[in-house]
Amino acid sequence: MTTRIELYDTTLRDGAQAEGFSLSAQDMLRVARRLDELGMTYIEGGWPGSNPRDREFFARAGELKLARSRLVAFGSTHHKDQRPETDGNLTELLRTPVEVVALVGKSSSRHVETQLGVPLTRNLEIIEGSVAYLAGQGRTVFFDAEHFFDGAALDREYSLAVLEAAARGGAGALVLCDTNGGNLPQTIAGLVGEVCARWPQVTVGIHCHNDAELAVACSLAAVAAGARQVQGTMNGFGERCGNANLCSIIPTLQFKMGCDCLEPERMRLLTSASRFVSELANLSPSRYAPYVGLSAFSHKGGLHISAVEKDPGLYEHLSPEEVGNQRRLMVSDLSGRAVILGKARQWGLIIEPEDPMVRELLAILKDRERLGYQYEGAEASFELMMNQALGREQRWFELIGFRVTDFKASEGEEPQAEATVRVKVGEEEAHTAATGDGPVHALDRAIRKALTRFFPRLVEMRLVDYKVRVLSGADGTASHVRVLIESSDGAEVWGTVGVSFDVIEASWQALGDSIRYKLFKDARG
Amino acid sequence: MTTRIELYDTTLRDGAQAEGFSLSAQDMLRVARRLDELGMTYIEGGWPGSNPRDREFFARAGELKLARSRLVAFGSTHHKDQRPETDGNLTELLRTPVEVVALVGKSSSRHVETQLGVPLTRNLEIIEGSVAYLAGQGRTVFFDAEHFFDGAALDREYSLAVLEAAARGGAGALVLCDTNGGNLPQTIAGLVGEVCARWPQVTVGIHCHNDAELAVACSLAAVAAGARQVQGTMNGFGERCGNANLCSIIPTLQFKMGCDCLEPERMRLLTSASRFVSELANLSPSRYAPYVGLSAFSHKGGLHISAVEKDPGLYEHLSPEEVGNQRRLMVSDLSGRAVILGKARQWGLIIEPEDPMVRELLAILKDRERLGYQYEGAEASFELMMNQALGREQRWFELIGFRVTDFKASEGEEPQAEATVRVKVGEEEAHTAATGDGPVHALDRAIRKALTRFFPRLVEMRLVDYKVRVLSGADGTASHVRVLIESSDGAEVWGTVGVSFDVIEASWQALGDSIRYKLFKDARG
């Protein structure tokens, strides 16, 4: 019999503590949708009591319509000088449209005394009172026992008394946290086993940090000892060295420990979901990441490659397809071919594997990737490129040229941006000008001004996201930049890409593709 | 009594299999010196039988004069159609000036049959013969049992027979390898314990790969089960997802498991050695790396920071100084007063906690952060802002205004960027123009042209990184952007920030701060 594990994703809350990590409320909604599609049991959306962005996220959570996951709001137990009913943080939690809340409380006597500055018994009252209050309002309450393992090492009885208080208050789960991330798997396993034995009717959860590079191992050890809820983040994002990495934990639990985490077809979404979150957070995905990294199933040595061609299991611990990743043999282009065929199939284009077109598309793709193009999150550009290579492109318009001026007369004054563009539709040339909030905005307005006359449906479309990534910082401001644009016309959202040493030129390419795709998809119907 | 552990570094051999990793023979010598200084027991220098670079390394190994470490040469057991005395690979090993050799052989019946293509008994002869031959030539031979754990899962008796053959041949160590990196710590521990019990007179070693993000945990589990030699690489470099990371294993063994690995003063060289190896291999060090990463002891949340100031152990599993790393208190919207005071102290500014200036600085900081400024990674801008608020700012120059033009005449042509800037130094105004690779590069060049005449030391400085982040994508191209610039003058690296709806204006701000900071720090001396 397999063991069912609750997957609790805290990328949007604890993961957001990672240095360099940054998501807008809009990005958070997109990530939540992707996590739902992947099949997380719980998605922790943030801490509404701590900042306006997380409040905005919960205010808009109604847009989400999650199919598989339940949204969780996070907060702390009530302030030491308040009662539950008067506490701002608990009130904020009750305002969110969620049924499940996670409540963090101190479970180490050292932190209660030094940091919180209340008697040990008062902390127990605070915890029981906070949990009971939210449970009384109909919420399912998960209690996060902060510093549980460090606390238990100092004063085991007190840390267990904290769990007892939460259980008395009606907590639906007791989540044991290795907040400082320095404990060993054997320590974790021992205490988890003890807690599971003592509260058999409550779900026991585990929440680890990676300060000793053991967060994955500690989470697995906790499951082996009886924990049934695993908290972590996509790609292990999190404060300091990160949280437990769900992208490694999920496949290991499922394929190596006989647990039931995700349906097989959802497991195959793991790699793309991992990259999607990195992309939105604007952090480069690690190519060496287990299971989901670009190098995770790469074979380099000639001996390895010939062995892998005979029998992949000789040098692979798992089949990459199981997690939606790909084998890469670094002397051959076999993997790229599969991508092209797979994408083509996805879009209903039938290409035979032996068609010379495949090799040609592959050469174009490799060449573009070498220049810095990346089609993850820019699949509209990829589709346009394939159509062009297949000779199915329709030349709706040509972008001829632009002039962008940005002028700041004196300190304290705002800069004035202006753009002129020249485009050609059929035999007709349009030459327009526009101002804007910054040079890219001006450019966007000028292009639309030029084209809307010919293609009235362009008024339906708007830019929903604009991202810039510097590709290699080594040359300072002369580096290449990649611009990713996301557009929407209400019915559909699509992404396009541009690359250049010049941010205006890269934006010009991505804007052009964005409009082309709108025309292409409207024509396709 | 503490357990003495042999540290076996294979960065130069197995680590060099990492995708993107590249070292010359000269670099290899430099890395070996650094590993010796750190105090590794063994340094595996490479595989002289496999490539000319490794042969060159061993030919020059006499230059090294290692004080603490012993050099090891790596090779495989003799070819199936050869005898030990006639085998080119073994001959090559005997030519190296080392006393210790590592010899890899197949220990999984599946690999013997499918990949090597010899009868199982022939493989045992090859292994015993190879080990005995080198031992007979006076070498200490470590036997690397490739695929030991996967092999034992299929045919335990055969894998143990392989070890028996190596032991009969006179191996000084039996090193158990998880070559595909997919085993769990409990599997590793069970087999290591069995091998230790069976060959109590031989050192048992462990060699893990990180394909399930468990290489560190598996190595530690092996030590707990009796292994006394740990093989791994600096920063976990290695094929696919990497090898076991010695930078995490060493401090955990020493500080958390009571083992004796390095003298305390050598342990303090760990962080700098880790960064040195990344630098030479031309791979960016991971900022999130446990123990040695830039973020490993960073504190972000305001509550965390005030707690850490009271007692660092509240939110740290180890004192960063022990491994030569540093605590960093970060400036972010979650934090407050404690950061201001901590930063001021770090820079030698004495501000009393009750000074109204603290409240004022805090208000300025919150205001700037609301606008999208972020001082993580832009600490130079933060320092300039504090100096200004404290009335200690020196106005080296004023940026007055700019005009940036970017012109693309036709499709297929590259855009031409030009910038003019006006700056004031004292009563004198400079008005300069420059072209560049894109508008930001042109702007940078024009500013320097204007200011270098007044401040000749600006020629020392260059941009090392340039990042653009769109703050909230919800409004498309009219969103605000944040530009982060990193500059260096060889002696120091500093970061500055600018925010605007206009990418050029944001860059203008960050460039201005970058130059101001250079002048400020040179004046401070």
Query: How do residues B398-422 score in pLDDT, each as one tens digit?
Result: 999 999 999 999 988 999 999 999 9
pLDDT of residue B382: 87
Using CB atoms, which residue from B184, B256, B473 is nearest to A26? B473
Indicate the pLDDT class of residue B174, thresholds 50, 70 and 90: very high
CA A450 to chain centre: 37
- A residues 105-124 near B, CB within 8 Å? 110-111, 114-115
Please, are residues A103 and A142 in contact by the beta-carbon 8 Å criterion? yes
Task: Give how far B167 is from chain A: nearest CA, Å.
Answer: 25
Percentage of chain B lying above the pLDDT 70 cut? 94
B497 Ramachandran zone, left/alpha/beta (phi>0; psi -120 to 50): beta
Which residues of chain B are within 8 Å of residue A20 when distances are taken between CB atoms?
Answer: 287, 376-377
CB contact under 8 A, B403 and A405: yes
Residue type, B229: Q
Q: Does B495 touch chain A (CB under 8 A)?
A: no
Percentage of chain A lying above the pLDDT 70 cut? 93
Q: In sequence order, which residues have a C-beta less than 8 Å from that of residue A331 and are 6 or more positions away?
A: A302, A305
Task: Give how far A110 is from chain B: nearest CA, Å.
Answer: 8
Percentage of chain A lying above the pLDDT 90 cut? 69
Angstrom distances, CA of residue B510 to CA of A441, B250, B481, B507, B517:
21, 40, 12, 5, 11
DSSP string, A480-512: -EEEEEEEE-SS-EEEEEEEESSHHHHHHHHHH
pLDDT of residue A302: 55
Which residues of chain B are within 8 Å of residue A404 when distances are taken between CB atoms?
Answer: 404-407, 439
Listed residue (A354, A343, A351, A355) closest to A380, CA to CA: A343
Residue B264, classed as helix, strand or coil, is helix
Lowest mean pLDDT among A85-89, A485-489, B12-16: A485-489
Query: How do residues A312-345 score in pLDDT, each as one tens digit?
Result: 888 899 999 999 998 877 643 445 666 677 667 6
pLDDT(A472) > 70: no
Please, are residues A484 and A497 in contact by the beta-carbon 8 Å criterion? yes
Please, are residues B302 and B335 in contact by the beta-carbon 8 Å criterion? yes
pLDDT(B189) > 90: yes
Q: Does B286 touch chain A (CB under 8 A)?
A: yes
pLDDT(A266) > 60: yes
Query: What is the Cα–Cα distance from A226 to B159, expressed in whole angstroms?
Result: 33
CA B405 to chain centre: 41
Using CB atoms, which residue from B115, B413, B466 is nearest to A470? B466
pLDDT of residue B45: 96
Q: In sequence order, which residues have a C-beta less than 8 Å from that of residue A324 and are 6 or more positions away?
A: A267, A268, A269, A270, A271, A272, A292
Between A112 and A338, where is the model more confident?
Answer: A112
Q: Name the token pair of B9.
A: 């570094």
pLDDT(B72) > 50: yes
Q: Does A316 touch chain B (CB under 8 A)?
A: yes
Please, are residues A227 and A188 in contact by the beta-carbon 8 Å criterion? no
Report residue B372: phi and psi, to 5°: 115, 0
pLDDT(B73) > 70: yes
Q: Name the token pair of A241.
A: 């060295």
DSSP string, A58-83: HHTGGGT--SS-EEEEEEEPPPTTS-
Residue in A closest to B186 by C-alpha: A221
pLDDT of residue A283: 77
Query: What is the Cα–Cα distance from B110 to B148, expressed in whole angstroms?
Result: 11
Token pair 């040595």 is found at A301
Query: What is the Cα–Cα distance from B470 to B478, expressed in whole angstroms?
Result: 10
Between A455 and A341, where is the model more confident?
Answer: A455
Residue B93, classed as helix, strand or coil, is helix
> Can you give the length of chain A in residues?
525
Lowest mean pLDDT among A15-19, A168-172, A182-186, B388-392: B388-392
pLDDT(A33) > 90: yes
Which residues of chain A are within 8 Å of residue B210 when distances are taken between CB atoms?
Answer: 288, 290
CB contact under 8 A, B464 and A477: no
Which residues of chain B are within 8 Å of residue A183 when distances are taken between CB atoms?
Answer: 317
Task: Give how far B276 is from chain A: nearest CA, Å.
Answer: 18
Query: How do residues A226-244 score in pLDDT, each as one tens digit?
Result: 999 999 999 999 999 999 9
Helix and strand numbers, DSSP H then E, in chain A: 17, 18
Average pLDDT over residues B364-376: 77
Query: What is the Cα–Cα distance from A25 to A28, expressed in whole angstroms?
Result: 5
Neighbours of B432 (CB within 10 A): 18
pLDDT(A378) > 90: no
pLDDT of residue A448: 94
Which residues of chain A are within 8 Å of residue B496 when distances are taken between CB atoms?
Answer: none
Q: Name the token pair of A301.
A: 């040595």
Between A484 and B58, where is the model more confident?
Answer: B58
DSSP state for residue B438 in the 8-state scheme:
S
Q: In sequence order, which residues have a C-beta less than 8 Å from that of residue A153 and are 6 or more positions away?
A: A187
Between B291 and A393, where is the model more confident?
Answer: B291
pLDDT(B369) > 80: no
For residue B164, with 0-12 CB atoms within 10 Å meaning exposed, 13-18 middle and 19 or more buried, which class applies?
A: middle
Token pair 């949204």 is found at A71
This model of the complex carries an ipTM of: 0.75
Query: What is the Cα–Cα distance from B211 to A269, expressed in whole angstroms?
Result: 19
pLDDT of residue A331: 46
Listed residue (A463, A329, A475) closest to B479, CA to CA: A463
Percentage of chain B lying above the pLDDT 90 cut? 68
Using CB atoms, which residue from B239, B437, B502 is nearest to A502? B437
Using CB atoms, which residue from B303, B310, B466 is nearest to A477? B466
Q: Name the token pair of A506.
A: 């890269």
pLDDT of residue B473: 43
Query: What is the Cα–Cα distance from B259 to B4, expressed in whole angstroms?
Result: 6
Lowest mean pLDDT among A107-111, B172-176, B436-440: B436-440
pLDDT(A441) > 80: yes
pLDDT(A311) > 90: no
Listed residue (A130, A478, A440, A274) closest to B475, CA to CA: A440
HEC states along B133-157? HHHHCCCEEEEEEECHHHHHHHHHH
DSSP element (H, E) containing B123:
helix B120-136
Average pLDDT over residues A14-36: 90
Q: Does A287 touch chain B (CB under 8 A)?
A: yes
Residue A418, classed as helix, strand or coil, is strand
**Most B CBs within 10 Å, among A74, A209, A317, to test the B interface:** A317
Query: What is the Cα–Cα distance from A226 to B484, expressed in whole angstroms?
Result: 46
Average pLDDT over residues B204-219: 98
Between A478 and B460, where is the model more confident?
Answer: B460
- What angle separates helix A25-38 from helix A270-281, to the nearest 10 degrees? 170
Q: In sequence order, which residues have a C-beta less than 8 Å from that of residue A271 and are 6 or more positions away?
A: A291, A292, A323, A324, A325
- Is the whole-model pTM more than 0.80? no
Structural Rg of chain A based on CA atoms: 26
Mean pLDDT estimate for chain A: 90
Q: Name the token pair of A90.
A: 């608990």
Angstrom distances, CA of residue B361 to CA of B283, B329, B521:
38, 16, 21
pLDDT of residue B1: 62
Residue B204, classed as helix, strand or coil, is strand
Query: What is the Cα–Cα distance from B462 to A416, expressed in whole angstroms?
Result: 28
Q: Name the token pair of B512.
A: 């201005």
Which residues of chain A are within 8 Å of residue B282 when distances are taken between CB atoms?
Answer: none
CB contact under 8 A, B405 and A401: no
pLDDT of residue A333: 41
pLDDT(B227) > 80: yes
Beta bridge partners of A259: A3
Listed residue (A88, A72, A75, A55) closest to A127, CA to CA: A75
Say which CATH class A6-280 falls into: alpha beta
Indicate the pLDDT class of residue A100, thresholds 50, 70 and 90: very high
Please, are residues A228 and A240 in contact by the beta-carbon 8 Å criterion? no
Q: In sequence order, which residues have a C-beta less than 8 Å from that of residue A34 and are 6 or more positions away?
A: A273, A276, A277
- A residues 47-106 near B, CB within 8 Å? 50-51
DSSP string, B456-511: GGGGG-EEEEEEEEES-GGGGGGS-EEEEEEEE-SS-EEEEEEEESSHHHHHHHHH
Please, are residues A296 and B247 in contact by the beta-carbon 8 Å criterion? no
Query: How do residues A212-229 score in pLDDT, each as one tens digit?
Result: 999 999 999 999 999 999
List the domain boundaries for chain B.
6-280
pLDDT(B282) > 70: no
Q: Does A208 touch chain B (CB under 8 A)?
A: no
CA A430 to chain centre: 41
Please, are residues A456 and A479 in contact by the beta-carbon 8 Å criterion? no
Residue type, B19: E
Using CB atoms, which residue from A404, A409, A443 is nearest to B401? A409
Strands B416-425 and B428-436: antiparallel
Residue in B closest to A397 by C-alpha: B411
Q: Does A22 touch chain B (CB under 8 A)?
A: yes
Between A279 and B462, where is the model more confident?
Answer: B462
**Most B CBs within 10 Å, among A477, A488, A509, to test the B interface:** A477
Interface size, chain A vs chain B, as Cβ–Cβ contacts under 8 Å:
363
pLDDT of residue B305: 73
For residue A207, with 0-12 CB atoms within 10 Å meaning exposed, 13-18 middle and 19 or more buried, which class applies?
A: buried
Mean pLDDT estimate for chain B: 90
